[in-house]
Amino acid sequence: MTRKQLPFLFIVFAFLGAGIFYEFLKGTHEQNIIKMNEAARDFMSQYHFLTKEDSLNSGFLEKISKHGAAYLTINSEEKIAFHGSYNYNLNPSCLCSFLEVGDSIVKPSNSEVIMVYKEGEEYYFKLDGDVMEGEQFPKQSPPLARKLLP
């Protein structure tokens, strides 16, 4: 082997090593994504996503917000979730950010309306929908306690 061939040989081994290292990282990255997807699936399987048919009249013990979804622990056995509910008349507008432990939530069955009772005030959101700026809901007086305990 001559001195002229050494730089060429070095380049070949450098590319070969980089390719092997890339494949190793790619495989590790794919395994991490699979593990994260499994963890997310396990987490989400603990929660029931509210539908139009569901009813709810409760406070909650814990709230977790992730990617526009709110995951609420109602009690030790009941966990619910919903996503994509916004009221652009409020700040924050996303229900997942608006809710705080101590608030009460009322959602009548067969309705898209979610009522949030916070510090004696009533706020409205639509299940999987938006309340646009300036849009008003009629004040409702459901036969429900304004301040509910979980």
Q: Does any domain span residue 126?
A: yes
Per-residue pLDDT, 40: 65
Domain total in the chain: 2
What single DSSP character describes residue 106?
E
Per-residue pLDDT, 130: 78
For residues 76 and 117, state if they share a domain. Answer: yes
For residues 5 and 63, state if they share a domain. Answer: no
For residues 71 and 86, state if they share a domain. Answer: yes
Q: Does any domain span residue 146?
A: no
CB 144 within 8 A of CB 106: yes
Helix/strand/coil for 43: helix
Per-residue pLDDT, 139: 56
For residues 55 and 116, state if they share a domain. Answer: yes
CB 115 within 8 A of CB 57: no
Strands, sheet with 113-118, edge to edge from the N-terminal-most edge strand: 56-58, 104-107, 113-118, 121-126
Residue 115: domain span: 48-131
Which secondary structure element, helix H or strand E, spans residue 40, and what is its range?
helix 5-44
For residues 39 and 61, state if they share a domain. Answer: no
- Say which residues have a Cβ less than 8 Å from residue 102's Cβ, sequence separation at least 6: 59, 118
Q: Does any domain span residue 102?
A: yes
Q: Does any domain span residue 138?
A: no
Of the chain, the end-to-end C-alpha distance in Å amounts to 80
Report the amino acid identity of residue 109. S
Over the chain (150 residues), the average pLDDT of each successive run of 10 is 68 69 62 64 78 86 83 85 85 88 89 88 85 68 43
Per-residue pLDDT, 2: 67
Q: Provide the 10 A C-beta neighbour count for residue 30.
A: 10
